[in-house]
Amino acid sequence: MPKPKRLNQVAIANATGVSRATVSLVLRGGHGSSEETKAKVHAAAEKMGYRPNALVHSIRSGKSRTVGVLVPPHDEYWKSVCFGIHDRLVEAEHLPLFLWDSEHHTQTAEQYALSQIHRLLDRWVDGVILWPEFSKHYAGHLHEFKRRNIPVVVIDHFVPGLEADVIESNEAMIADIIVDHLSALKHRSFLVVSGPEGLGWADERCTALSKKLTTVQESKVVELRLPFGTDLGDAITDSLRQNPSITAIIATTDNFAKKSYVAAHRLGLDVPGKISVIGVGNLAFSDVMSPPLTTINQNGYAVGRKAAQVELERSSGILTGPAHFFTLPVELIERSSTGVAPR
């Protein structure tokens, strides 16, 4: 198979009759050439389909203008995060390199994590953006970035010992909105359903909810932290069966809310007549659930854009000093899954 054709500046110089140095000067926007020469070079470059060699620019500048993104499109929220990252980096003339875990690789988890990191290092990335699972499982190897002064931004998770900026939804605001909404509906007995301990966003969300729920007079709170691999429907069903006084389920993601509907249906509990359910995420299915789910909109696109912006500012030296924590606002999307608590 023939090699790809790479049009270089020598071809433009030959076509225009000016020197290679002059062509280079004109194409990079330098001064010193006449307007006639500039017009001639640009016209020839456009006619011949010339594109600048980003690899050569990277070698000269020491900046690849690429950012490694270990953020998979896990669900609608994370897809919107990825879109936000992509759009902001492209606006800044940077190239996002998306990598994520694969179910089909044959390496051990540790080997695969290190190989993904090396893929990014070998391409001279200017920075890295991580999501919680990568930052957790890859924590033992993230020093590979730090030792090379490659800035790291983590979304919704804090990695102990790693100097990384963190972008997250405002967890205190999430807790305030949820608890204020449910307490206004006279709910006093709550089941909080969340992910496993040690997962950044889950820990912070549960902590914020627990703190806020203490402000509800005569409240009863049951917390259900579910490890990966747990049958969510069974676990929530068992918890409701053991705590029949619960009138509201606070699902820390819409996926947990969906399983809460399953559990309520098994026990013959009408939503919201007998039990209210509220989620977090405003995922695509939330408004077509029966009944439509009351939830918190996190605006993943804005989170992604902010993560990319912080990465750009770190790699360019605009943002300096110790790691920063950035929180983004959220909003309540009130639908039909929450109602006045039954007597």
What is the domain-level CATH number for residue 35? Answer: 1.10.260.40
Q: Where are the beta strands (DSSP E) in 33-85?
A: 66-70
Same-domain pairing of 130 and 190: no
Average pLDDT over residues 49-77: 70
Flag whether 2 is in a domain: no
Q: Does 216 or 10 have the greater pLDDT score? A: 216
> Which tens digits make up the pLDDT trace of 206-215?
999 999 999 9
Given a cut of 80, whether residue 180 has pLDDT beyond it is yes
Flag whether 57 is in a domain: no
Flag whether 292 is in a domain: yes
Flag whether 87 is in a domain: yes
Average pLDDT over residues 327-339: 96
Q: Domain residues for 148?
A: 66-169+301-328
Please report the pLDDT score of residue 261 as a whole number: 97
Same-domain pairing of 293 and 197: yes
Flag whether 275 is in a domain: yes
Nearest to 210 by CA among 246, 250, 260: 250
Flag whether 116 is in a domain: yes
* 124: alpha, beta or left? (left if phi > 0; alpha if psi -120 to 50): left
Mean pLDDT of the chain: 86
Q: Does 2 or 185 have the greater pLDDT score? A: 185
Q: How many domains does the chain have?
A: 3
Residue 93: which CATH number? 3.40.50.2300
> Which tens digits make up the pLDDT trace of 81-121?
999 999 999 999 899 999 876 665 666 766 777 788 888 88
DSSP string, 144-158: HHHTTT--EEEES--
Same-domain pairing of 155 and 217: no
Flag whether 18 is in a domain: yes
Q: Pairing mode, if any, of strands 276-278 and 295-297? A: unpaired
Same-domain pairing of 82 and 190: no
Residue 217 half-sphere exposure, CB side, CA atoms within 13 Å? 2
Flag whether 147 is in a domain: yes
Does the global pTM surpass 0.85? no
Same-domain pairing of 175 and 289: yes
Same-domain pairing of 149 and 107: yes
Please report the pLDDT score of residue 137 as a whole number: 61
Q: How far apart are CA 164 and CA 311, in angstroms?
A: 10
Identify whether the C-beta of residue 226 lies closer than 8 Å to the C-beta of residue 289. no
